Copies of this chain bind each other. A is one copy, B any other.
Amino acid sequence: MLHPSRDQIQLVEVLAALGHPVRAQIVRALASGDELFCGEVVADVPKSTLTAHWRVLREAGVICQRPEGRKLFIRLRRDDLDTRFPGLIALLLAEDF
């Protein structure tokens, strides 16, 4: 499961990852910084669709995914993103839906 290191994160890939309504919603749901079970993050999105979104977010460096038993836990890489691109996640969290 590929997770780019902090230095490997590319802004254009992060922007592309954030530039989708469902993925923006996922980031907002993870904003507290707590790790969530992947089934808890967003409702009303088919699992196969979500799997594709996790991958885009993970490969861009926006989230970490951690398997535990048969569950997959998700966390926003807020520290890495705030260090590399200060203010970007804050903009997304400030915006109304």
The number of times this chain is found in the oligomer is 2
Residues of A in contact with B, size category: 10 to 19
Q: Is the interface of A mostly helix, strand, loop or mixed?
A: helix
A11: chain B residues within 8 A (beta carbon): 24, 91-92, 95
Q: Is A19 an interface position by the 8 A CB rule? A: yes
Q: Is A6 an interface position by the 8 A CB rule? A: no
Q: Is A4 an interface position by the 8 A CB rule? A: no
Q: Once the chains are docked, how many angstroms separate the CA of A18 from the CA of B16? A: 7
Q: Is A72 an interface position by the 8 A CB rule? A: no
0/1 interface trace, chain A 7-50, chain B, CB 8 Å (1 if under): 00001111111111100100000000000000000000000000
Which 4 A-B pairs rank lowest in CB-CB distance, beginning with the nearest?
A16-B19, A15-B19, A87-B87, A11-B95
Query: 24 A-B contacts, Cβ less than 8 Å apart?
Result: A11-B91, A11-B92, A12-B18, A12-B21, A12-B95, A13-B19, A14-B19, A15-B16, A15-B18, A15-B19, A15-B24, A15-B92, A16-B16, A16-B19, A16-B20, A17-B19, A19-B19, A85-B91, A86-B87, A86-B91, A87-B87, A87-B88, A88-B88, A88-B91
